[in-house]
């Protein structure tokens, strides 16, 4: 998702240049009274715009963070609100949020496909994102709000989402299906290995571009920064416990208005996105303006540092706070490895050759440690990291197979 950071900035600059100088100056001099831009819409608005019922739920985690879940409780096409509807939780990647699953639309989006297959669909949002900027006692202006990595997202946020969805569904279900992309897979591994009792609450888990071991990943930005930020040193100490790219209402509104479907600049957003992705891309280009208008969605710098530590150490382990604090927290100088062998739930690993974040050899190393895994190697040699969410044929190669696996599981449970 890091390329969308630069893409979003470029679109914003272009939008500003398209406005008279006097108009732009008045925004910065006195922004609140003068902003006339249309407010951003939420994931629930995007769901409802396609005719599906949409719900918004606020969930409080054990450590006080308030995260937002969006729900498609049933399909308006099936009118199955009174039928048994198995629960599915779908979790986004780093710098992303639930809006990412809306990009390819109702025909190809996995959430819509699952709803039309009879499932109760929930879209998760991690703390620190657009939909996770609240806490029972902390302000986002306080550094302690941002003192978390993806470990806490898994250990607390995903656990709270699972429990909330099970309780709210009202059909006495004891377990859910799970779909995660990129960081959405990392947090699953963190939760299921650190709190193995949650494996009993998982029917099938689908890891799209699974990220755990990172020694062989080829992403240039990570490999450049990891030697500096992947160790407990002055660089990482200066970088940690902060919001990565602080949220700015004006910036967000400019992006949304520039790339909204009816905007005069929408075609420009698509053109810039095309230049960033390149002509060889598999991405559904109609999805890119939604990505630009809603991303980056927010994160803690500790999430980035944690990934950098994984890349440098070659391990899948808890956050390295330095020898002194590690002793206090873990009882040892170095952070312990996640006990992946404790993940007993059925885990499907979806991976590809052209993924710069999840190298095949790293995924295979991960698979060796999972006792109940199923491998799904993408045959297309050009299939990239983001394609699992935004490929032009994502329904054919990802959504439909996942729906079939879930359906088969449900049928077997009924026998």
- Residues with a catalytic annotation lie at 182, 355, 385
Helical ranges in 2-74 per DSSP H: 2-17, 21-29, 31-34, 43-48
- Three-state DSSP at 69 gives strand
Q: What SS3 string covers 245-286? A: CCCCHHHHHHHHHHHCCCCCCHHHHHHHHHHHHCCCCCECHH
Rounded Cα distance, 62 and 156, in Å: 6
User: In what helix (H) or strand (E) does residue 1 lie, and over which residues does it extend?
Assistant: none
Residue 122 and residue 158: Cα distance in Å, rounded?
A: 12
Beta-carbon neighbour count of residue 79 at 10 Å?
Answer: 9
Nearby residues of 114 by Cβ (< 8 Å), 6 or more positions away: 88, 90, 121, 399, 403, 406
Cβ neighbour number for residue 87 with a 10 Å cutoff: 22
Residues forming a β-bridge with 60: 66
Contact 285, 274 (CB under 8 A): yes
Q: Give CA 359 to chain center in angstroms.
A: 19
Q: How far is CA 131 from CA 71, 294, 298, in A?
A: 14, 11, 9
Cα 239 to Cα 385: distance, rounded to the nearest angstrom: 26
Q: Please, are residues 126 and 190 in contact by the beta-carbon 8 Å criterion?
A: no
Rg (CA), the chain: 21
Least Cα distance to 190 among 348, 88, 306 occurs for: 306
């Amino acid at each position: 998702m890091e390329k969308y950071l630069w893409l979003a900035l470029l679109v914003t600059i272009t939008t500003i240049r398209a406005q008279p100088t006097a108009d732009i100056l008045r925004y910065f001099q006195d922004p609140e009274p003068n902003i006339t831009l249309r407010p951003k819409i939420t994931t629930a608005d995007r769901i409802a715009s396609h005719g599906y019922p949409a719900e918004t739920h606020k969930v409080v985690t054990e450590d006080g963070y308030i995260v937002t879940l969006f729900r498609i409780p049933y399909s308006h096409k099936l009118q199955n609100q009174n039928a048994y509807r198995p629960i599915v939780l779908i979790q986004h990647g780093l710098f992303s949020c639930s809006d990412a699953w809306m990009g390819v639309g109702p025909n190809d989006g996995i959430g819509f496909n699952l709803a039309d297959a009879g499932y109760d669909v929930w879209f998760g949002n991690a703390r620190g994102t657009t939909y996770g900027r609240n806490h029972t006692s902390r302000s986002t202006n306080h550094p302690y709000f941002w003192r978390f990595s993806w470990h806490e997202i898994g250990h607390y946020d995903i656990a709270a989402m699972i429990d909330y969805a099970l309780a709210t569904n009202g059909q006495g279900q004891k377990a859910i299906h799970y779909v995660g992309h990129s960081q959405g897979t990392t947090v699953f591994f963190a939760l299921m290995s650190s709190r193995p009792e949650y494996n009993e609450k998982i029917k099938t888990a689908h890891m799209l571009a699974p990220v755990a071991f990172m020694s062989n990943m080829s992403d240039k930005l990570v490999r450049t920064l990891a030697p500096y930020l992947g160790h407990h040193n002055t660089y990482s100490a200066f970088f940690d416990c902060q919001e990565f790219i602080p949220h700015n209402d004006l910036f967000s509104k400019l992006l949304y208005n520039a790339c909204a479907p009816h905007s005069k600049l929408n075609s420009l957003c698509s053109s810039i996105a095309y230049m960033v992705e390149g002509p060889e891309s598999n991405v559904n280009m109609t999805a890119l303006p939604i990505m630009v208008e809603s991303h980056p969605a927010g994160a803690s710098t500790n999430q980035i540092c944690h990934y950098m530590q994984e890349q440098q150490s070659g391990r899948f382990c808890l956050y390295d706070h330095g020898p002194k604090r590690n002793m206090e927290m873990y009882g040892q100088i170095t952070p312990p490895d996640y006990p992946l062998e404790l993940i007993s739930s059925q885990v499907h690993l979806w991976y590809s050759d052209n993924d710069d974040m999840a190298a095949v050899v790293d995924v295979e190393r991960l698979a060796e440690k999972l006792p109940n895994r199923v491998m799904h190697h993408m045959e297309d040699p050009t299939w990239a990291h983001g394609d699992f969410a935004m490929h032009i044929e994502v329904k054919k190669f990802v959504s439909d197979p996942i729906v079939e696996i879930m359906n088969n599981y449900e049928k077997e449970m009924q026998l």
